[in-house]
Amino acid sequence: MVSTAAYGTWPSPIDAALTAAHDGRPEFVGAVGDEVWWTEPRPAEGGRRALVRRRADGSTLSVLPEPWNPRSRVIEYGGVPWAGAPREEGGPLVVFVHFADQRLYACEPDGPGGPWPLTPVSEVGGGLRWVDPHLDLERGEVWCVLEEFTGESPTDVRRVIAAVPLDGSAAEDRDAVRELTDGQHRFVTGPKISPDGRRAAWIAWDHPRMPWDGTVAMTADVTGDGVLTGARPVAGGTDESVVQVEWGRDGSLLFVSDADGWWELRRIGPGAVAGEAGPADRLCTGRNEEFGGPLWRIGLRWFHLLDNGLIAVIHGRGTTALGVLDPETGELVDAVGPWTSWAETLAVQDTRVIGIAASPTTSYEVVELDTATGHTRTIGVPHQDVVDPAYCPEPSIRTFTGPAGREIHAHVYPPRHPDRTGPDGELPPYVIWAHGGPTGRDPLVLDLEIAYFTSRGIGVAEVNYGGSTGYGRAYRERLRGQWGVVDVEDCAAVALELAEEGSADRERLAIRGGSAGGWTAAASLTQTDVYACGTISYPILDLEGWATGETHDFESQYLESLVGPYAEVPERYRERSPVNRTQELTAPFVLLQGLDDPICPPVQCERFLTAIEGRGVPHAYLGFEGEGHGFRRADTVRRALEAELSLYAQTFGLQRPDVPTLELKK
């Protein structure tokens, strides 16, 4: 029997503890001989990542016990933290970055001993960090990116490609690490070695560009003793973003570039790689889709070559699919299955392609496509219905109209419950979700955090506002110089259109976001009267502070494109910052912050709270020890969700005895 109850008051089996226990997703899949390996989250184990191997017989086990945590902090967002290779004797060898000390370790999972260190600890600044490793067993080395701090400031840092001996001789000796590049570029990815071992390729870029603005594909010759010589750019530029490079079997170089407005797959022949003139061929044209994405982490992968010459590709517009591309004909055939979002990671074993994917009804799983048969199957982290699927929302892909008639892409998740409905004439409250980045995108996938609200009668709308990826470079560049304007306008346009069409209650709209989404939430509360309240998580609140030393190196000049050169438009930084607009803030809010966050540090929240003292605005501030940028511990995720729901309950006048009451100060 379906009964009537006010929106927002419905009972739900999806509590905050259940949601927190399933927070996170598997990442960084790789093939190690006839095994498949990946990392996956452990929220109940302090939020660490586990390295998991799937044996040929289908059994899975964790490679590393607690407290080992394969996760890199290079550019703070990290990247691929492990690499493995089979050996004729002794089982596979794996190298990985341990989060706690950022040292590179080696391990023989089938051997008697535990991991041993390969790199030393540095006491300077943030120390020595490593990412995107590539094993070279013949040379007895692992080649990877080295991030080395040269002083105490977050921007006192250099990055090079380096070779680390596998025998442990560099564990206490920095001089035993061979530097393969000269540090001429501020940022680099790990090297890809050609099949004949004679060339290397990588991606590089410099401030003030971000990797989605302009990067170059670099190549160099590899000498017999493992030295890189003759480094030179072969693709990319200041206004072209190359996000992945790989070698073809014939010595050609394949790469993803957005030179024509979309990230597309291209190829340079062996002659052009060697320095001869020659164009880059586009391998799949005219689709107006993305075959790449923003390089937020080092070593992301959107395509992978198969031994038969075909190419596995992740592509799409807004959503993504796994396809198999014939580079000679341009024919592209997609894998069969329900998945609408594929993570930026791929591995290949013979005719099989392995990736990580999710859908609106399934969580992220490790999925295998056999290109010989077209058959797909889940081989790791299989989705399990932890609650009746009837409590999970059914999203719709929407395109809204913003200022000047511009398109705004969004996913709308109406309230859904198997035996509750709202009273006649009542409209549900809605929360607008602003994603982080801001150069990012909300994927169309099952998310228990969304279901936590929709199963209680509160709708959610994820807004992929102007500046989001997945819709071409022009859509992405709507935010250039307009951060705090376009994102705020687009979120408001979606909220108001939902209200005008009769889907949402105009008086019960909220906004929430983390990181750059926290900025958009705070800017929205201080610039508009659209929202009754908001949830602001690990945000940017003071552009001047963030632009003058209050963040890490990777994003230290990000605002040059998002807002404008600080030296030229300092007033724009002041005028848009929520910390300077608190006189316009009247809506209640909750502020959630990791106290160990190096990207959006707590000082930004503290300055904002000082600015609203005595203003009488109801608010709460929750700081979480041991959490950085984004929450990973189960208890933190639980407390944050309960605080958010309590804020909405108090603001919207809802009875929610299932969560602790959040104390709102004035």
pLDDT in tens, 180-238: 999 899 999 999 999 999 999 999 999 999 999 999 999 999 999 999 999 999 999 99
pLDDT of 1 higher than 90:
no
pLDDT in tens, 594-632: 999 999 999 999 999 999 999 999 999 999 999 999 999
pLDDT of 484 higher than 70:
yes
pLDDT of 279 higher than 90:
no
Q: What is the average per-residue pLDDT within 256-273?
A: 92
Q: Are 94 and 103 in contact (CB under 8 A)?
A: no
pLDDT of 280 higher than 90:
no
- CA separation for the pair 246, 301 (Å, rounded): 10
pLDDT at 88: 87
Buried/exposed code over 340-378 (b: 16+ C-beta within 10 A; e: otherwise): bbbbbbbbbbeebbbbbbbbbebbbbbbbbebeeeebee
Q: Residue 522: which region, alpha, beta or left (left: phi > 0; alpha: psi -120 to 50)?
A: alpha
pLDDT at 467: 98
- CA separation for the pair 566, 558 (Å, rounded): 11
Q: Are 219 and 201 in contact (CB under 8 A)?
A: yes
- CA separation for the pair 20, 452 (Å, rounded): 11
- Find, among 491, 475, 487, 477, the residue nearest to 289 by Cα: 475
Q: Are 2 and 419 in contact (CB under 8 A)?
A: yes
Q: Which two tokens stand for residue 26?
A: 């598997």
- CA separation for the pair 311, 246 (Å, rounded): 11
Q: What is the average per-residue pLDDT within 414-432?
A: 97
Q: What is the average per-residue pLDDT within 518-535?
A: 98
- CA separation for the pair 255, 236 (Å, rounded): 10
- Find, among 88, 46, 83, 91, the residue nearest to 65 by Cα: 46
Longest Cα separation, the chain? 77
Q: What is the average per-residue pLDDT within 451-476?
A: 98
pLDDT in tens, 322-371: 999 999 999 999 999 999 999 999 999 999 999 999 999 999 999 999 99
pLDDT at 157: 97
489: Cβ contacts below 8 Å, ≥ 6 apart: 402, 403
What would the DSSP string read from start to end of 335-404? PPSS--EEEEEEEEETTEEEEEEEETTEEEEEEEEETTTTEEEEEES----SS-GGGS---EEEEEE-GG
Q: Which two tokens stand for residue 4?
A: 């009537």
351: Cβ contacts below 8 Å, ≥ 6 apart: 306, 307, 308, 370, 371, 372
- CA separation for the pair 577, 545 (Å, rounded): 10
Q: What is the average per-residue pLDDT within 99-108?
A: 97
Q: How confident is the model at residue 116 (pLDDT cuts 50, 70, 90)?
A: very high
pLDDT in tens, 544-557: 999 999 999 999 99
Instruction: Establish whether the linkage from the previous residue to 602 is cis, with ω within 30° of 0.
Output: no
| Whole-angstrom Cα Rg for the chain | 25
Residue matched to tokens 């502070």:
545
H/E element, 36 = strand 35-42
How far lies 596's CA from each of 47, 485, 528, 635, in Å? 14, 29, 31, 16
Q: How confident is the model at residue 278 (pLDDT cuts 50, 70, 90)?
A: low
- CA separation for the pair 542, 538 (Å, rounded): 12
What would the DSSP string read from start to end of 253-304? EEEEE-TTSS-EEEEE-HHHHTT---PPEESS-S---BS-----SBT--SEE
Give the number of residues written for the chain: 666
Q: What is the average per-residue pLDDT within 7-20?
A: 97
DSSP 437: S
On whether the pTM is more than 0.85, the answer is: yes
pLDDT of 270 higher than 90:
no
Residue matched to tokens 């596995």:
312
Q: What is the average per-residue pLDDT within 370-396?
A: 96
54: Cβ contacts below 8 Å, ≥ 6 apart: 35, 36, 37, 60, 366, 379, 380
Q: Would you tell me which CATH number, out of the four given (1.10.3720.10, 3.40.50.1820, 2.40.160.20, 3.90.660.10), belongs to the domain 387-652?
A: 3.40.50.1820
How far lies 420's CA from each of 10, 319, 636, in Å? 7, 31, 30
529: Cβ contacts below 8 Å, ≥ 6 apart: none
Through-space distance between the first and last CA atoms of the chain, rounded to whole angstroms: 43
pLDDT of 271 higher than 80:
no
Q: Are 201 and 192 in contact (CB under 8 A)?
A: yes
**Boundaries of every domain in the chain:** 29-179, 387-652
Q: How confident is the model at residue 571 (pLDDT cuts 50, 70, 90)?
A: very high
Task: State the chain's mean pLDDT as an integer.
Answer: 96
Q: Residue 625: which region, alpha, beta or left (left: phi > 0; alpha: psi -120 to 50)?
A: beta
Q: What is the average per-residue pLDDT within 4-27?
A: 96
Q: What is the average per-residue pLDDT within 92-111?
A: 96
Residue 604: count other Cβ atoms within 10 Å of its Cβ.
28
- CA separation for the pair 604, 551 (Å, rounded): 10
Buried/exposed code over 44-60 (b: 16+ C-beta within 10 A; e: otherwise): ebebbbbbbbbeeeeeb
230: Cβ contacts below 8 Å, ≥ 6 apart: 220, 221
Residue 658: count other Cβ atoms within 10 Å of its Cβ.
13
Percent of the chain surpassing pLDDT 90: 96
Interior angle at CA 403, CA 398 and CA 407, nearest 5: 30
pLDDT at 154: 94
Q: How confident is the model at residue 266 (pLDDT cuts 50, 70, 90)?
A: very high
